[in-house]
Chain A
Amino acid sequence: MPFNERPRDMGTKLNLVIDVALCENCNNCVLAAKDELVGNTFDGYSAPHAPVGEGVVRIERHVRGEGHMVDVTYVPRMCFHCDNAPCVAAGQGAVRKRQDGVVLFDPVLARGRRDLVAACPYGAVVWNEEQQLPQTWFFDAHLLDAGWEVPRSAGVCPTGAIQLRRTDDDAMQREVASRGLRTLLPELALKPRVFYANLDRVDRVFVGGTITARIGPHVEVVPATQVELVRADEVVATCVSDAFGDFKFDGLLPHGGEHQIRARHSEHGEAVCAAAVGAASVFVGELRLSDS
């Protein structure tokens, strides 16, 4: 949603969409959560969070690549407000699922319930030693209930990476399908209400390199080279090298095994090299074309 458009009320349930390609690790969302929750009491919602230590919103870093071909993706993490929430089950009344989807740890009933930290498979629960309370990011429900348009994190995010969706579940599912949104650890089937765009940058890998050739007296990088990624003699992807001779096959599943890279340029010849796709992205470095 563009910045200038106010979120329209299209339903009563709350969801978050986080585009990790737009997260620049500024930590405004992390700090806004601390600003809002540390030192403040919101009756029925939250007791003061701890001033020191990891907060209920945090940023996870994923770096890919080597040499000059690197990229990094930041994943803001918080309570996902799961519809099948194990914390709600374990809470036995201390954790509540609201109609709008929000999962709320009761600041009175949850006192002393250290066990609830482990109940969350996402590690979203922070133990507050001083208050003896398990605490989470509760969607700034106290603010939304009071008429605020968006939670603090969405309000401070400079790139619009975090967006509120106030919509019904069907509409949300349509967006999930059309944009390929994903949740973390879907195999747990907890039905989180926080969805991510562009998670491929986290759990897919790339194979890349730089095409060069000896041209006249110099070794030069070669733009516009046709490059193929081949597996078991089958071409699985093609691309063209850019102005710096760089090529990159992205979005590959990890552990894809042995591949071959074949490069061909009408003037400068051909080159072939092997690339083993394991857990991490591969930068093969220079791939020198030659006529043969």
Chain B
Amino acid sequence: MSAVHTATSLNQALEMLAQYPEAQLMAGGTDLLVRRRSSMSGSDILFLGRVPELQDITEQSEFLAIGAAASLRCIIADPLVKQYAPLLVQALGTIGGPAIRNMATLGGNICTASPAGDSLPPLYLLDARIELVSRTGTRSVPIASFIHGPGQTARHNHELVSRILLPKVRPLAQEQFVKIGCRQALAIAVASFAGQAELDERGHLAHIRMAWGSVGPTVMRLPALENELTGASITPKHINYIRAALRTGLAPISDGRASATYRYQVAANVTARFVEGLRETSQS
């Protein structure tokens, strides 16, 4: 039997974290409890699901703050998230199934730091910052710096992820999240794509940002490619250029779900479809 320490405030959670530094942090538990079952872990649990400061979704002057322990269901339904981060809403709706989404949290999805985490590609594009609190203070870290690799984050043992901060910017005209799984629900992504783009009055790319999941140890970005494409028109030559850049820039592996070849092919194809869709938008 393991002890479960239930915090009812953020301060209490931080005290418990200091008192029980080996305790495993749990909010929704949908990843942790599966891992504990397979590893037969006997560590204590620090349960954060009753900490109100970690559940709130609030609008600040410059950013939207999503509590790390807010359920995916609450986040999906929140009007502020729909307003400022519709791309994130798209992605969260693909995670697990309805009951999982009632339980799982955004903080959990981020801290699990799976290469296939569905919330992650949109969070990278949204320039999410991860707020960490401890008894000595608060800091925030860009998500790209927070996730170091599969299962590895920048959280120190004495810190809790408290909120996910999304800069309040207008969503771009075209935003899309695509998840390729082996079935339509309860699926782990074989490859995923998040794209944001906007065309100027000439039909050229005024903005384009892209992120890919499940094709590398963490979310993949290709900022050089985005820079090259900004201001460009969309032609078959550009599509081929994108495909070539992905072939060298992505790092998929082969595993039980799919081969590296398929992962590259499908990532390239859905990216091409997104970009070509922009061209069709510009011509309509």
Q: Do A and B bind each other?
A: no
